[in-house]
């Protein structure tokens, strides 16, 4: 029976929330394999000069632990 681990990460993008989520998966994938799902826990934006300057997400990433 596989074990599933969950880690929480924060990622951002100057483009969109979708891009911030993609950045989270891309960065986590550098060190974690077998990613099953990403739960977006929270969204936020940074504002500069009365405009949105960046988008941020807090994600819970689930992955299967290798049994080897």
DSSP string, 2-16: -EEEEEEEEEEESS-
Count the helices and strands in the chain (H runs, E runs). Answer: 1, 3
| pLDDT over 80 at 1, yes or no | no
Residue 67 scores a pLDDT above 90: no
Whole-angstrom distance, CA of residue 67 vs CA of residue 33: 12
Query: So what's the pLDDT on residue 68?
Result: 66
Asked if residues 59 and 26 have their Cβ atoms less than 8 Å apart, the reply is no
Task: Output the pLDDT for position 64.
Answer: 93
> How do residues 7-56 score in pLDDT, each as one tens digit?
999 999 999 999 999 999 999 999 999 999 999 999 999 999 999 999 99
Q: Which domains does the chain have, with CATH numbers?
A: 4-64 (3.30.1660.10)
* pLDDT for residue 62: 97
Contact 67, 37 (CB under 8 A): no
């Amino acid at each position: 029976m596989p074990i599933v681990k969950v880690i929480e990460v924060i990622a951002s993008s100057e483009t969109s929330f979708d891009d911030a989520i993609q950045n989270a998966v891309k960065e986590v994938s550098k060190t974690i394999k077998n990613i099953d799902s990403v739960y977006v826990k929270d969204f936020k934006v940074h504002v500069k000069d009365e405009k949105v300057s960046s988008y941020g997400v807090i994600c819970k990433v689930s992955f299967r632990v290798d049994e080897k």
